[in-house]
Structure 1
Amino acid sequence: MNPDLAADILRDALFLATKIVALLLLPGLITGLIISIFQAATQITEQTLSFLPRLLVTLVTIALASHWLIQELSDLFVRLYQAVPDIV
């Protein structure tokens, strides 16, 4: 196995994992930040208040981005499958 090919495969996989995680976590983090600012402004100290909105935003993000996520993962696996002759 060529070390350059292994590095390319690893780089592609890590970059895709980073994109997927960022896509799924950032909307929830932004929602949590907005709710925390609202809680600080109104002096509401309930810790579980931000859970449901963050969960809903994350689920909506998954629902809206699921086609793109599946397409990106399938593209990565197709590239890996096509690289098998070069790996072996």
Structure 2
Amino acid sequence: MTDTQVTELALQTMMLAAKVAAPVLLTALLVGFLISLFQAATQIQEQTLSFVPKMIAVAIALLVSGNWVLSELVSFTQSLFDMLPTLLGRT
């Protein structure tokens, strides 16, 4: 296994991690931003006001994007198993 292969595999892994985490993280970011705008406008500083809607939105995002996330992870794992002989130096 060469340095180039290790670097390429690490890059693919990090890109997949970013793609898989993006729907949940962006949903939490957007809902958190909207709730903070609401809290700033109304001067309500209740902690649960920001936590509960974020938790519900993240759960919905997981339900909506879960099938896609699973298919991406399965596809990546299958490609890793297909590349295994090449990575070990056996063809």
TM-score (structure 1 length as normaliser) = 0.93
Rounded to whole Å, the distance in 1 between the matches of 2:81 and 2:46 is 50
For 2:75, the aligned partner's letter is D
Paired residues, what number? 88
The worse-fitting range, judged by mean Cα deviation, of 41-50 and 73-82 is 41-50
CA-CA distance at 1:3 after TM superposition: 2.0
Please name the residue that 1:84 is paired with. Answer: 84
Please name the residue that 2:74 is paired with. Answer: 74
The percent identity for this pair of structures is 34
1:10-58 Cα shifts (integer Å, max 9, x gaps): 1111001011222211111110110111111111111221111000000
The worse-fitting range, judged by mean Cα deviation, of 63-72 and 14-23 is 14-23
Structure 2: runs of 5+ lacking an equivalent: none
* Corresponding residue SS for 2:73: helix
Greater relative contact order (Cα < 8 A, sep 6+): 1
Please name the residue that 1:4 is paired with. Answer: 4
Structure 1: runs of 5+ lacking an equivalent: none
Q: Does 1:51 align with 2:29?
A: no
For 1:57, the aligned partner's letter is A
Deviating above 2 A after TM superposition, structure 1's stretches of 4 or more consecutive aligned residues are none
